[in-house]
């Protein structure tokens, strides 16, 4: 009998990360290794997205944020950007019913207005279709960059101060968080980056203050549910201290 990876896992639901964010990197290198066009790597990468979204639903992860296209990625060759936008549209069109069926709500963070109109329309339709879903949130970071996000937030706050809707003394960490694309979302507990690069590349810089980080050498198209589960196990063994002395349940100190 074919074994389903999740059947043999022992993951304590109480210590699962509520919010997992993934920097899905390595599509181009995957394609290059196989002497294929980079776009083939992105195509295969979108299959991985499907399998990891399904895995998160099964495992009970409440929020999954996927870095799919950065503000800097607009600087790639035109044909690659076009292919990525087409793949994004294809993904939404083919997956929206599946998301609905699986009780997953779709959300976007980033400059959605910069995406091609047809892509925006499909995203809007899928967001509408899934808006009452409660089991999980799938957050797609599209034309997303933290510096742009923070700059936009500062501008919005400044405007409110100018119109006297806010006083400068009202500026707090919570107020700043409330002006980011991620308002009302918990910070990511775990950030995974594939393809062995040790950097955040302008992803969730504010929100990642106390996120656990895991770097995998696997190229995104090869990333599997099994490896994801191993990473979750690794996360469950970590001691998150948040700047305090220890995270122990004993009172004997």
Q: Is 25 a catalytic residue?
A: yes
Stretches 131-139, 193-201, 228-236, 243-251: which one binds ligand IPE (CB under 6 A)? 193-201
Task: Return the H-helix or E-strand segment holding 65.
Answer: strand 63-70
Binding site for Mg ion (CB under 5 A): 25
Closer to ligand IPE by CB, 17 or 28: give it: 28
Q: Is 4 a catalytic residue?
A: no
Q: Which does 23 bind (CB under 5 to 8 A by kind): Mg ion, ligand IPE, none?
A: ligand IPE
| 241 is a site residue for ligand IPE (CB under 6 A) | no
Q: Report the alpha-carbon distance of residue 12 to residue 204 in Å, rounded.
A: 27
Contact 228, 10 (CB under 8 A): no
In degrees and rounded to multiples of 5, residue 36 shows phi and psi of: -110, 165
Q: Report the alpha-carbon distance of residue 88 to residue 86 in Å, rounded.
A: 5
Nearest to 67 by CA among 99, 104, 108: 108
Closer to ligand IPE by CB, 69 or 91: give it: 69
Residue 25 beta carbon to Mg ion: minimum distance, rounded to whole angstroms: 4
Q: Report the alpha-carbon distance of residue 128 to residue 105 in Å, rounded.
A: 9
- Which residues fall within 8 angstroms of residue 24, CB to CB, at 6 or more apart? 45, 48, 49, 66, 67, 68, 194, 220, 223
Closer to ligand IPE by CB, 45 or 57: give it: 45
Q: Which does 149 bind (CB under 5 to 8 A by kind): ligand IPE, Mg ion, none?
A: none
Q: Report the alpha-carbon distance of residue 221 to residue 245 in Å, rounded.
A: 39
Shortest Cβ contact with Mg ion: which residue? 25
Shortest Cβ contact with ligand IPE: which residue? 28
| 145 is a site residue for ligand IPE (CB under 6 A) | no
| 28 is a site residue for ligand IPE (CB under 6 A) | yes
Contact 206, 176 (CB under 8 A): yes
| 71 is a site residue for ligand IPE (CB under 6 A) | no
End-to-end CA distance of the chain: give it in Å, rounded. Answer: 51
Interacting residue with ligand IPE among 16, 49, 61, 67 (CB under 6 A): 67
Q: Report the alpha-carbon distance of residue 69 to residue 74 in Å, rounded.
A: 8
| 223 is a site residue for ligand IPE (CB under 6 A) | no
Of the residues 4, 27, 73, 178, which is catalytic? 73
| 197 is a site residue for ligand IPE (CB under 6 A) | yes
Residue 222 beta carbon to ligand IPE: minimum distance, rounded to whole angstroms: 12
Q: What 3-state DSSP class applies to 163?
A: coil
Residues catalogued as catalytic: 25, 73
């Amino acid at each position: 009998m074919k074994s389903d990876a999740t059947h043999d896992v022992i993951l304590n639901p109480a210590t699962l990360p509520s919010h997992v964010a993934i920097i899905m990197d390595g599509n181009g290198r995957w394609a290059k290794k196989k002497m294929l066009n980079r776009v083939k790597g992105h195509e295969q990468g979108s299959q991985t997205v499907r399998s990891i979204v399904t895995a998160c639903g099964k495992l009970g992860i409440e929020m999954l944020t996927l870095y799919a296209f950065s503000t800097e990625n607009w600087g790639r060759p035109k044909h690659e950007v076009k292919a990525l936008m087409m793949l994004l549209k294809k993904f939404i069109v083919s997956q929206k019913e599946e998301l609905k069926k699986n009780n997953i709500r779709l959300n976007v963070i980033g400059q959605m207005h910069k995406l091609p109109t047809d892509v925006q329309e499909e995203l809007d339709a899928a967001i509408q279709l899934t808006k009452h879903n409660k089991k999980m949130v799938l957050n797609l970071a599209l034309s997303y960059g933290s510096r742009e996000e923070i700059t936009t937030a500062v501008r919005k706050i400044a405007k409110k101060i100018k119109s006297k809707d806010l006083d400068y003394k009202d500026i707090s960490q919570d107020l700043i968080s409330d002006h980011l694309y991620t308002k009302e979302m918990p910070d990511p507990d775990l950030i995974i980056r594939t393809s062995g690069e040790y950097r955040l590349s302008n992803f969730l810089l504010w929100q990642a203050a106390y996120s656990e980080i895991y770097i995998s050498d696997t190229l995104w198209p090869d990333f599997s549910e099994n490896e994801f589960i191993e990473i979750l196990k690794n996360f469950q063994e970590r001691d998150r201290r948040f700047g305090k002395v220890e995270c122990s349940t004993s009172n004997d100190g």
